[in-house]
Structure 1
Amino acid sequence: MPGKIRFAPSPTGYLHEGHLLSALYVWAAAKKWNLSIHLRIEDHDQSRARPEYIRSIYEDLEWFGFEYDSDSIQSNRKPVYEAALEKLKREGLVYPCYCSRKQLEAENPKSATGEIVYSGKCLHAAEAHAADAPHNLRVIVPDETIHWHDLRLGDFDENPKKQCGDFPIRDRDGQWTYQFAVCVDDIDESITHVVRGEDILSSTARQIALMRMLGRETPPAYLHHPLIVDTAGKKLSKRELAHSLRQDREAGLSRETLLGRVCFKAGLAASPAPIGLADAIYLIYQIL
């Protein structure tokens, strides 16, 4: 079977330079390893997703010249997620959690990276709550070390039970979580390679563990690329209202100018001189 890679932006804001860099890495990896490209719109967070952001993703990619072979939108895939959830339920791997965010922060330890490590308090507490009490659903994470290899950063040995504990797969509002939706999608859409930013690095072991629970023993090949950061050293974020590519387009900047700026900020080029899409992709192709 041919391999497949995915570019998976969330429509919770307009694309920014960080997304452009990630797209360059994905398209370079596809060329390097002869992979088809799947565009996945990850709108699992319906409280923040907007139709105009979805339209903009397609428009921005077309404007830059990024071509892909297939696409999907998570909000159209509810039956697939429901089926995966039922599988976990049949195997006794899911339970309701009634803890509020305030309780979670007060009652659970934090990992070295500041992430809450859930204690499993609600695992046997369902009978103490009304059936209609607000709750999310958590998956029972096995207490085992996951060994995985990053194509850029090398080998990792991580235990999700100690990193985060049992994590949510559906929230109190009935929305699928990122961790759950991305695992189900990567299995169902036959994704063989995942290229994404280093900010998602800590999610990898838990996603591998969840994919195993869902029946996929061999995970995708992973590569986590460096990030573009702001003047304070923080990664670009929609929540922090990072400057968008759409703003640059509306200001009249050319594709070549934006590509050159991103390649320079990412340390791929010696100057921010304008550069074409094929040449920008080739800069990454050479270092993969």
Structure 2
Amino acid sequence: MMENNNFIEQEEDNNDELDIYDFLEVIAIEERKEYSRQRWQRTKEEVEEQKRLLRSQLEKHIHLLSENLKKPNFIRTRDKITFTIGVANTCFSPLIAAKWPQILPIVYTVQAFFLITLRFFIYKSKHWHYSVFDLCYFVNLLTLIYLWILPSSKILLAVCYSLAHGPVALAIVLWRNSLVFHSFDKVTSIFIHLYPPLTLFTLRWLLPVDLQLKYYPAIVNTGSNLPIGTSIFYTIIFYLVWQILYYTFIVHGRRQKVFESKYIIYNGTLQIAPIKPDLDRANPRLGVSS
């Protein structure tokens, strides 16, 4: 009987010791968790501070760069470079199309990436970048996809050819695009609307058949006549896809930002709003700002 009592007392002592050890272990675990949380919080705060400093430095550099871009010397140099490139491009593009049509897609691709990317960042700085999601840029993207990814797709060829020679080319007249060689913006606009139809026309009618069959088999498989019904049907489908995406993500999805920016909605697309005259300073005789 005494042995049983001693055994029970030892068990209770062991249980007490285990309870104390468990308690201390729980405390240690909680302390480690708390230390980890504090360390993570400090790390997070340090990262946020670094991000804030980097953002501040970046904004400062962008401001300095924008101020330098407004200097007369830079503007004159930029206009000279733009004028030279614009004139050279106007002269050499027809020559390349007639003499070396196989390299025209490369010329188009290089210029497209350079001009459209540069325009995006310029428009981004002016809060005009939503204009880069317009139909003409969508057609340029489809044309690049056809040239380098899906050259055997007859559907994509028909869509690109129809849109490039239809609304995109017609927009030059409707939107009164002018070729002003010293204006980078106007040169880019002409390029965006003119080069896709020029490239596709050259590949279809001036590229030798053996090169068409090797690099762009859809042109050979389509023949000399595009199927009108199929072309119209798929062109409308692609246009509706662009219009739905444009309305969903730009007109509706970015409604607040669009409202705060210098945009107006015209015919379902965004256009840069004209600058309103200051009526307080307007010339009463001319009706315009002085």
User: Normalising TM by the smaller chain, what interval?
Assistant: under 0.3
TM-score by length of 1: 0.22
Which of the two has greater strand per residue?
1
Which of the two has greater helix per residue?
2
More contact order relative to length (CA 8 Å, sep ≥ 6): 1
